[in-house]
Amino acid sequence: MAAAKKKYNFKGLDDIFGESVSDVVGIIENDKKVATELSKTIDVNLLKPNPYQPRKIFEQEELQELAESIKIHGLIQPIIINEKNEIVAGERRTRASKIAGLKEVPVIVLNLSKQQMEEFAIIENIQRVDLSDIEEAVAYKQLASSLKLKQEEIASRVGKSRSHVANIMRLLNLPENIQQAMLEKKVTMGQTKPLLTILNNPILLNQIFERILSEDLTAREVEALIKNKDALNEKPSKPNKRPNTIYVENKIMRVLGTKVSIDNGKLTIRYADDSDLNRILEILGLTDED
């Protein structure tokens, strides 16, 4: 049966499907009737990354796990693209489909303007729990720049508090090497946030950052170093951990997107603030359903 080729021209995404851009993704990807009406198949190699994609890192292990699932069950949710074959939603699924060896994938084509394309990609990604703090900050900056939105307006669009948006965006004031370390999940927002108070002292900032990397300092330890600069010369020794313990720590960190340590029968999961804690609880499936 020939696939329907109906396209939606969105003048205002929220006017069509609800209060946020993510509603569009949810309805199109999860409503079988809409998917059947609009979907068609396309050569997976014709699909192009979204030029406004805020996500920079795709975990290879997670892609491989998704690819294995696709091999067994197929690609259940269609990829959403624009008329230029640029991916609006589903780049992770596209990458996993290629790993799984799929030649064709189901897609839904939307006729989106440049601004709609950008807003769609940014907000859809922001509302996913595994976006890193730096990727989230870059996404907010893109919204502020492209759509001329103030922090209050960004917060309203993405369902976050204004203080959360402001705190995340402040991370972009950190040096690029620190931002890159956060992007690669070598350090957390909690560890690096105190460094914002010493941006005018790059030598001290770099010294403390090196200590964070080498000793895995907590946020309180970083704050203490900033207050007591003489403590920079004091490097406490830490016991060596077994390789399997380090392996488990790294595996949990990849899932939760935050620093994790296992010591003396204790599993410690670090978080930066209430929003970060809620993000971790959501990953663990511990949020209230009411």
Which run of H or of E encompasses 70? helix 60-73
Active site residue 59: no
Give, rounded to a whole angstrom, the gap between the first and last alpha carbons of the chain: 42
Which run of H or of E encompasses 281? helix 274-283
Task: Output b/e per residue, 261-282; b: 16+ Cβ within 10 A.
Answer: bbeeeeeeebbbeeebeebbee
Among residues 37, 61, 62, 91, the one annotated as catalytic is: 91
- Taking the C-alpha atoms of residue 278 and residue 78, their distance in angstroms, rounded to an integer, is 29
**Type of residue at 209:** F
């941006």: which residue's tokens?
199
Q: Where are the alpha helices (DSSP H) in 127-256?
A: 133-146, 151-158, 162-170, 176-183, 189-192, 202-215, 219-227, 243-256
With contact defined as beta carbons under 8 Å apart, do 164 and 92 qualify? Answer: no
Q: State CA 218 to chain mean position distance.
A: 22
Q: Which of 101, 71, 77 lies closest to 91, judged by CA?
A: 77
- Taking the C-alpha atoms of residue 163 and residue 168, their distance in angstroms, rounded to an integer, is 9
- Taking the C-alpha atoms of residue 53 and residue 109, their distance in angstroms, rounded to an integer, is 17
Residue 29's SS3 state is helix
Active site residues per annotation: 91
